[in-house]
Amino acid sequence: MLDLEALIGEMQVQAADVVRSARSSLRQREAATAQVAVARALPGLRDAVLAFARDMAMPAVGRDLGAVAPPPTPENGLLDYTVIATDGSQVAPDYHHIAPWAVINAGYALFRFGPPAGRARCRLGSVPRLLAPGSAEPTPQDPGIEADSDADALAAAGLNSSRLEAQRLVAELDLARKLVMDEGDPGRTVLLLDGPLVQWRMITALKGVDQEQTVAAFRRFVQTCHEAGVAVAGYISRSRAVEWVTLLRFSLCPEVQAGRALCPTCRNGLLAGYAAPAPGAHHAPLAGLRDIELARDLLPAGGGWRTEIIELRSATWQTISGGTGTVGFCYLDTGTEIARVEVPSWTWEHPERMALLHAALCDQCESGAGYPLVLAEAHEAAVVRAADREMFYTVLERLLGEHGVTTVSRSAKGESKRRPAA
Ligand SMILES: [Zn+2]
């Protein structure tokens, strides 16, 4: 039995802490909203960010950083559109198996509302690809693969987890690109990716050949979507981003407010990672606040509203896109949460294309109870379930058996590695 009497003292202390932190967060949110009014009236803010020369958010040219846009209605929105999404999953190699092969499965979903003549209303499917350890070129830093090395070493050298991740990203991007070419309908197509468009993992986590191949695939994807005039967005649920708030913190510096460059103290402290700002620093008052908290306060109730595009000064984007335009983000009230939407400049600089994207996102979130249905369906199409995985290994063992290779029964450790993954 729980002795509540014994707990009550601790609960009282904790409750007081919760109330204190809620109050301070409320004060911060009020201060952030007030700072939006200050920042949107600073004509030199964008130039000051550019002069700072670090990667961070800045007002897009000609855009009011505090503006919001209402949900498109049937009158001003677009009823007919085509929406495409891709996602990927994998069967990781089982290093205890004689043939530690892996499978990449790229899934897709495509819906057409008011389909043009001869076009399908809905397409769902997946494109699997087998990755045997020898099928990928080893990265330069990998040890050479000896003919008689054991399966573990072979697998580790040829198919490490970052190679698998890279190959999965390449498969997703190439599939998205192919769908845009084969299935895109001019002037009405929206393509959604699950996760950030500024895929910093490509630059930070992937190395050597893996990075080169992934960047090349992303550039092909960007070029095709750009040329086809497709509205593209990366959709991020439960975002923890602070870029918009960082721009507001930048604008708190009195030097910036006076139309000059950031003061030396702010220059050193503003982007100091997770370190708490020095007490008294100009930018300290808004530290720790998240963009979605600010967006929640700025967006009118009722769902479907979005914030204005904020541009990102991003070296990562320049690298992975091959310098095709720039990238930015906005926040959308889906009805159940505030989602972050990352958008390339060729989408937001074209008013009809941006309206199409906004309308499609609202419609998709309405169908998917707060999450775009097309992304949920692409995920379902990509996912490899435990039964599929077992079937893959059964077929693999039968094939090896036909070649006279008898496989040892799969070890308990091997079995445990084969959990469902998406
Ligand atoms: Zn300052």
Q: Quote the ligand 1 centre to 287 CA distance (angstroms).
A: 14
Please give the pLDDT value at position 376.
98
Does the pLDDT at position 326 exceed 90? Answer: yes
Q: Which residues are paired to 84 by β-bridges?
A: 110, 191
Residue 80 is assigned to a structural domain of this protein: yes
Same domain, 129 and 163: yes
Does the pLDDT at position 414 exceed 80? Answer: no
Q: Quote the ligand 1 centre to 270 CA distance (angstroms).
A: 9
Same domain, 308 and 252: no
Contact 80, 113 (CB under 8 A): yes
Residue 5 is assigned to a structural domain of this protein: no
Q: How confident is the model at residue 392 (pLDDT cuts 50, 70, 90)?
A: confident
Mean pLDDT, to the nearest integer, of 96-112? 89
Q: Quote the ligand 1 centre to 198 CA distance (angstroms).
A: 28
Please give the pLDDT value at position 148.
40
Per-residue b/e over 362-377, b at no fewer than 16 CB within 10 Å? bbbbbebeebbbbbbb
Q: Quote the ligand 1 centre to 337 CA distance (angstroms).
A: 34
Q: Quote the ligand 1 centre to 51 CA distance (angstroms).
A: 14
Residue 228 is assigned to a structural domain of this protein: yes
Q: Quote the ligand 1 centre to 254 CA distance (angstroms).
A: 6
Same domain, 44 and 139: no
Residue 181, φ and ψ in degrees, nearest 5: -70, -45
Contacts of 170 (CB under 8 A, 6+ apart): 213, 214, 217
Grouping H, G, I as helix, E, B as strand and the rest as coil, residue 111 is: strand
Average pLDDT, whole number, for the chain?
A: 88
Q: Quote the ligand 1 centre to 48 CA distance (angstroms).
A: 12
Same domain, 131 and 222: yes
* Residue with tokens 């600073």, as numbered in its chain: 42
Q: Quote the ligand 1 centre to 44 CA distance (angstroms).
A: 15
Same domain, 84 and 145: yes
Mean pLDDT, to the nearest integer, of 312-328? 95
Same domain, 223 and 331: yes
Rounded distance between C-alpha atoms, residue 210 and residue 323, angstroms: 20
Residue 296 is assigned to a structural domain of this protein: no
Q: Quote the ligand 1 centre to 294 CA distance (angstroms).
A: 22
Rounded distance between C-alpha atoms, residue 324 and residue 206, angstroms: 21
Same domain, 103 and 200: yes
Q: Quote the ligand 1 centre to 28 CA distance (angstroms).
A: 18
Please give the pLDDT value at position 314.
95
Rounded distance between C-alpha atoms, residue 389 and residue 364, angstroms: 31
The tens digit of pLDDT for each residue in 236-275 reads 999 999 999 999 999 999 999 999 999 999 999 999 876 7
Contacts of 174 (CB under 8 A, 6+ apart): 106, 217, 220, 221
Handedness of CA 355, 361, 363, 366 (dihedral sign): negative
Q: Quote the ligand 1 centre to 263 CA distance (angstroms).
A: 4
Q: Residues within 5 Å of ion ligand 1 by Cβ? A: 253, 263, 266, 282
The tens digit of pLDDT for each residue in 276-292 reads 888 889 999 999 999 99
Please give the pLDDT value at position 138.
43
Q: Quote the ligand 1 centre to 4 CA distance (angstroms).
A: 50
Does the pLDDT at position 321 exceed 90? Answer: yes
Percent of the chain with pLDDT over 90: 68
Q: Quote the ligand 1 centre to 170 CA distance (angstroms).
A: 43
Residue 22 is assigned to a structural domain of this protein: no
The tens digit of pLDDT for each residue in 170-216 reads 999 999 999 999 999 999 999 999 999 998 877 888 889 999 999 99
Tokens read off for 13: 């202390």
Same domain, 89 and 208: yes
Q: Quote the ligand 1 centre to 61 CA distance (angstroms).
A: 24
Q: Quote the ligand 1 centre to 262 CA distance (angstroms).
A: 6
Please give the pLDDT value at position 133.
67
Q: Quote the ligand 1 centre to 253 CA distance (angstroms).
A: 4
Domain that holds residue 369: 72-240+304-422
Please give the pLDDT value at position 324.
94
- Report the range of poorest mean pLDDT among 69-78, 87-96, 123-132, 364-373: 69-78
Same domain, 208 and 263: no
Rounded distance between C-alpha atoms, residue 356 and residue 246, angstroms: 29
Same domain, 333 and 410: yes
Predicted TM-score (pTM) of the model is 0.86
Residue 8 is assigned to a structural domain of this protein: no
Please give the pLDDT value at position 407.
65
Domain boundary among 226, 258, 289: 289
> How many structural domains comprise the chain?
2
Alpha-carbon distances of 205 from 161, 201, 382, rounded to whole Å = 11, 5, 23
If 0-12 CB within 10 Å is exposed, 13-18 middle and 19+ buried, where does residue 256 land? buried
CATH number of the structural domain spanning residue 359 = 3.30.2170
Q: Quote the ligand 1 centre to 281 CA distance (angstroms).
A: 7
Q: Quote the ligand 1 centre to 292 CA distance (angstroms).
A: 25
Please give the pLDDT value at position 77.
54
Does the pLDDT at position 42 exceed 90? Answer: yes
Q: Quote the ligand 1 centre to 268 CA distance (angstroms).
A: 10
Q: Quote the ligand 1 centre to 39 CA distance (angstroms).
A: 14
Same domain, 91 and 226: yes
Residue 7 is assigned to a structural domain of this protein: no
Same domain, 186 and 167: yes
Residue 297 is assigned to a structural domain of this protein: no
